[in-house]
Amino acid sequence: MVGVGNTDALNRGVIILRLSYSLLLRRNPSAGLLFIQILGVVLYPLMESSPTGRAIFGVFGLVVLAVALWVVRRGPWLTWLGVTLALPVVVLSVISIVTPRPELVTLTAALEAAFYFYAAGSLISYMLHDWNVAPDELFAAGATFTLLAWAFAYLFVVCQGLQPGSFGSGADGPGLRSWTELLYLSVAVLSSVGLSDILPVTPMARALIMLESFAGIMYIALVVSRLITLAGSGRRDRPQS
Q: Is residue 19 predicted with pLDDT exceeding 60?
A: no
Task: Output the pLDDT for position 99.
Answer: 78
Mean pLDDT of 190-195: 82
Mean pLDDT of 18-42: 77
Domains of the chain, each with CATH number or no CATH: 14-237 (1.10.287.70)
Mean pLDDT of 10-35: 65
Task: Output the pLDDT for position 25.
Answer: 64
Task: Output the pLDDT for position 31.
Answer: 86
Task: Quick: pLDDT tens for 134-151.
Answer: 888 888 899 999 999 999
Task: Output the pLDDT for position 148.
Answer: 95
pLDDT band at 132 (very low <50, low <70, confident <90, very high): confident
pLDDT band at 237 (very low <50, low <70, confident <90, very high): low
Task: Quick: pLDDT tens for 41-90.
Answer: 888 888 877 777 777 887 888 888 888 888 876 655 567 788 888 888 88
Q: Which long-range contacts (CB under 8 A, 24 or more apart) does 114-118 make?
A: 114/85, 115/65, 115/68, 115/82, 115/85, 115/86, 115/89, 116/68, 116/147, 116/148, 116/150, 116/151, 116/154, 117/147, 117/148, 117/151, 118/72, 118/77, 118/81, 118/82, 118/85
Mean pLDDT score of the chain: 81
pTM of the entire predicted model: 0.83
Task: Quick: pLDDT tens for 91-124.
Answer: 888 888 777 777 788 999 999 999 999 989 988 9
Higher pLDDT, 222 or 133: 222
